């Protein structure tokens, strides 16, 4: 009689590669959008071990229903905590932060979780016309939260544009596009915002930071552009202070770009790992 083949327990493949004692700072997004936040923090704090997790199996987060996204992120973070032992997690996605930050903090009270909420507050405060533009995903634009922020801090009105096609462009074509193509797509959105009479524009999706310079240059002189990059980096550092989580000077940092995937990393992802100067690894099963 044949014995039943014992199925291996599901687990993250990279547990054999990463020293659990390192307690990394974990950055999480569905694609490349959170990379600018990760790079900014890494440049300022090279002694910290960092893991950037790209959940590309669930890309893009911006098209998910709120309840579905909360379920995806709760299950994912539960496994990442068990496997990677992070000391702090940065939800490096505006959409995911707006939709699930409260739920995740409630589910994981022992883990400091930093969200990347769109920079509506400073834009509302600085706006002179009282009308600010927000460029984001469908979920971000449809959430009452951003309008509540605008009303609270500047009694401002929001003109929102959902731009899932811009997320796709940045995720799949940004490294291959010319400056002329980038200017063209940026001006496409700026034209719409100018028609709305906005004088402050919030880049409400982390992906859009890859076009930050183009938005800044093309928006002048009538529109000021806001993002949360510097503010979030300072918030991570403050949280490390508050929880006494900084590494000692003798710490040998290890940095990884991890992908949820069923196929080997494409050349673009290897390029992003080189851009960060991180090691790259694959996670084929994390459920």
Out of 18, 90, 93, 98, pick the active-site residue.
93
- Tell me whether residue 38 is one of the annotated catalytic residues: no
Give the span between the Cα atoms of 211 and 179, in whole angstroms. 10
Active-site hit among 205, 225, 240, 259:
205
Dist. CA 268–CA 115, nearest whole Å: 26
Q: Is 40 a catalytic residue?
A: no
The catalytic site residues sit at: 93, 205
């Amino acid at each position: 009689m044949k014995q039943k083949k014992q199925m291996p327990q599901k687990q993250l493949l990279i547990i054999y590669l990463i020293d659990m004692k390192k307690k990394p700072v974990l950055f999480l997004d569905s694609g490349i959008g959170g990379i600018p936040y990760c790079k900014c923090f890494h440049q300022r704090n090279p002694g910290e071990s960092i893991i950037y997790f790209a959940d590309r199996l669930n890309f893009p987060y911006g098209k998910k229903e709120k309840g579905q996204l909360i379920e995806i992120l709760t299950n994912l973070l539960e496994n990442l905590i068990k496997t990677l032992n992070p000391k702090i997690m940065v939800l490096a996605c505006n959409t995911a932060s707006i939709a699930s930050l409260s739920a995740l903090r409630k589910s994981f009270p022992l883990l400091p979780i930093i969200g990347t909420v769109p920079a509506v507050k400073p834009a509302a405060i600085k706006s002179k016309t009282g009308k600010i533009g927000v460029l984001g995903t469908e979920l971000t634009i449809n959430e009452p939260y951003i309008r509540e922020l605008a009303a609270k801090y500047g009694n401002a009105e929001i003109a929102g544009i959902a731009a899932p096609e811009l997320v796709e462009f940045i995720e799949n074509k940004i490294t291959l596009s010319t400056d002329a193509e980038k200017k063209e797509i940026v001006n496409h959105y700026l034209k719409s915002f100018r028609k709305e009479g906005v004088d402050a524009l919030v880049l409400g999706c982390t992906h859009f930071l890859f076009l930050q310079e183009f938005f800044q240059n093309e928006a002048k002189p009538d529109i000021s552009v806001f993002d949360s990059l510097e503010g979030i980096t300072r918030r991570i550092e403050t949280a490390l202070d508050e929880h006494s989580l900084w590494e000692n000077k003798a710490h040998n940092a290890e940095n990884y770009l991890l992908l949820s995937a069923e196929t080997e990393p494409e050349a673009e992802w290897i390029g992003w790992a080189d851009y960060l100067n991180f090691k790259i690894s694959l996670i084929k099963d994390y459920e």
